[in-house]
Chains A and B, each alone.
Chain A
């Protein structure tokens, strides 16, 4: 009996774990499909097309019409979308309409650079927010806490372009001249060969991210510390560090995971402004450029990458949250 039921439980467990994952992957696929369709329609609804951009102001109507035929822009919309979708399903990203280069090549460059920037930013941001948040919570209402709250309010108030501009003025052009103001990374080189080019853009992403997340960590830690559970632990005479790291922190992490995932996703998608500001050659810059040029295959490819990154971060965060929920239930039952 016992053995059987355990076996049953194990099987159910695997299913229970696999099925939601499969469901989420399916949902993710559908989300990406919806995004790609929306982007396609949105980009086509924009006034002006790639033929306008290529031919510029000297072009006559006949020349525009001819180029549109050459680029296949005269085909029905649904057909153009299906052609593109068919290509993607076969792993063919197509070619850029504006310069004829393979989209896969352009995309590889941008993804490498953006992933590096986001990766560096997140690697610093996440531990730093926990640290700052816990410190602020521990020193609640003290001087450090008040300074932190003030700074976080200002950092969240200031849009990225302002933070970036101020950083450029401070470290690159006006006050000091220690860091490059524009992050030029030659197309053939790795961003890690130019670590100084990463500092300012990464810092611009890190500051508001840390200030937002650390605030949530702080609130969560304070909330958890105020619960009966922790107070009981205190009464039992457990050491403060044990309470903090073994009991408070794990419980404080759960509520901020959705926010952290949002920040992670936002970091991936939101590097657009930062990349733009620092002329950093990543996915965001490529997307802005492609939108300006109305270069549909390039727009689609970059959006798909950003959306997939967003989806993956959410999937990871959600499974964390579910695990913690389950753990929390087990703990409270025990």
Chain B
């Protein structure tokens, strides 16, 4: 008898305790809380080899680039005021924006730029993406005055402003005490890698200032945790959400959505230098089995457009005139039979690190099965996957960045990201021309030609161009669509009302 009363008392006490612990919102007025997937390898200084959403979100607030891509994909000046080449495109004069202040109160000068670029290009610093600016000769950057520099390049290079617009090449500065500082819209208060960064608005910022005082970037373990935190009101903005979560999130009247483009998306890649993929017929068959609309609808929840086996939906240039590939199982079977590979058995590996990867892999395996290709999907942990990067014959890889940098890093021989081992004489030739022209119309013509070659011969099966979805609470206003998926981290003019 006594025990029964006991348990009832406990039940009541527990109930009372639960009610007392009402949802605790730790966001305060004028503070915006951003949720991203945290990466414990993040550092405050921007020249780290790792790129992660959490690091990108932080760097975007602390640092500026010489140039940048605007939200419609055009290259605009940031810390630089102008970039002028000589006639042969091998000497560039860079003038800096005047009156830019650093977070430590000092003026931003050419010395900061030169020191930053030297640091980036020193091999000892492991800044792997520096190969994208390997046309720069770090010892031949001459300081003309505090706001002017002259770059004498190793070879003529026309895409100078584009190359520095890549987010990896933001410029940092070093304070007198040796700490790293920046010029961006926010100053850093505290930082715990992968978990949290607290920032305050930098009131001397040269550009459009954010409409709130404090920013907190919280790093979560995975996408689902970010989504849950948004639903629970712990964060105001989710950097991105899984496609399958969008229907549930849009049901909540307090949540709003911005659909943006993105340059970061998964693709299926094969090594074109080894059998069976070095056979053009097999490669063509693998591209013909794809039901692209199904991948857009079922792997990306309908948020995206079908793709045509070339990278770069986000160039400002006309698309190549090649016909859209559509699923053709009969043709694929016929090609495989002609190649003598009717019963292909393949293993498709992925680390599933990016939304849509596992989904795309499974759908593709299912579609390929219709043509008699048996594909086993295998999910690996990231280190295991990276350990044999460029060795996997058949994988889900990731492309990231604007066409000029991403495609060339993935498709030119000897580049770190060339997982397909693509080495095409015509492509290499056109790529070289693209890099050494300063004429925009000419650049566009070359990009279109390059994409046409990818469509025909590259080892990348690009099934869909997914979109980036940012979901935020209705207390936030001013977030804008962005071609590069940066909606959640561009805070110029953004306000918070709580």
Contact = CB atoms under 8 A, between A and B. Distances in A.
Given A54-B126, A135-B3, A59 B416 contact: yes
A46 B383 contact: yes
A167 to B, nearest CB: 12
Contact of A289 (B194, B384, B385): B194
Contacts of B178: none
Interface residues of A, number: 63
A199 interface: yes
Contact of B3 (A134, A187, A276, A290): A134
Given A54-B49, A60-B128, A173 B123 contact: no
B495 interface: no
Interface in B1-60: 2-4, 6-7, 10, 18-19, 21-24, 26, 40-43, 48-51
A184 interface: yes
Contact of B386 (A52, A181, A186, A285): A52
Interface stretch (B204-212, B228-236, B283-291): B228-236
Interface string A46-79: 1111101111111110110011001000000000
A63 B40 contact: no
A245 B15 CA distance: 28
Given A56-B128, A101-B193, A48 B386 contact: yes
A135 B386 contact: no
Contact of A48 (B7, B387, B416): B387
A180 interface: yes
Interface in B452-475: none
Contact of A276 (B221, B234, B397): B221
A263 interface: no
A138 B383 contact: no
Contacts of A67: 126
A184 B195 CA distance: 9
A55 B23 CA distance: 40
A197 B419 CA distance: 43
Given A181-B231, A182-B225, A294-B383, A63 B3 contact: no
B99 interface: no
B249 to A, nearest CB: 10
Interface in A236-251: 241
Interface string A173-198: 10001111110101110000011110
Contact of A182 (B24, B190, B194, B229): B229
A66 B123 contact: yes
B221 A292 contact: no
8 contacts: A47-B384, A70-B124, A132-B7, A187-B196, A195-B21, A199-B18, A279-B222, A292-B381
Given A46-B384, A178-B21, 6 more contacts: A63-B416, A66-B124, A132-B7, A196-B21, A281-B195, A289-B194
